[in-house]
Amino acid sequence: MAPNDEWWVTIAHAFSAHVRDERYVLARYEELAATTADPGTRFLLEVILEDERRHHALFERLGASATGTTAQASAVPGPPDPEPEHLAELLEQTRRFLEIERDDAAGLKSLARELKPGSQETMWRLLVEIMELDTEKHIRILEFLRHRLEHLGR
């Protein structure tokens, strides 16, 4: 079942509201990061800020795409739909990257365990765990792409 007009309006509003609400949160993070004297706290806030800025930009693109009212209406394109002659190569590369990311996930998990004894003296374990989350995200993206490419190849 395809989304109706009401759905589009609801989703566009949700994206817009998220962008509006997030501006306040971004400003507070930036303010705290700029005023804290502690380098460790500032570093962690800056890590969060990088993610929040990326999320904010992505929600702006989603909102523009949902409303279709700006030049950014195509800021978020439709699902992957490569030319048939490129499908096999893209699928092969996607599978290769999935394997690499899965190997990386296992390596990071092992490294996080090794860093446990120093988890109160350093932030290393936390940062490796954050990288584990990023790797999980990469795997989800690649699985979506693989599934889509396999579907198109049928």
What token pair was written down for 84? 């048939």
| Secondary structure letter of residue 76 according to DSSP | S
Measured CA to CA in angstroms, residue 95 lies from 100, 148, 153 at distances of 9, 12, 14
Determine the pLDDT at residue 94.
Answer: 98
Domain boundary among 18, 39, 74: 74
Determine the pLDDT at residue 65.
Answer: 87
CA 77 to chain centre: 16
If one counts the domains in the chain, the total is 2
Consecutive 10-residue runs of the chain (154 residues): their mean pLDDT? 83 92 94 97 97 94 81 76 96 98 98 95 97 98 98 92
In a domain, 103, yes or no: yes
- CA torsion sign for 29, 30, 36, 41 is positive
Same domain, 39 and 91: no
In a domain, 58, yes or no: yes
- The structure tokens 């195509």 sit at 74
111 neighbors 60 (Cβ within 8 angstroms): no
Determine the pLDDT at residue 69.
Answer: 63
Determine the pLDDT at residue 10.
Answer: 92
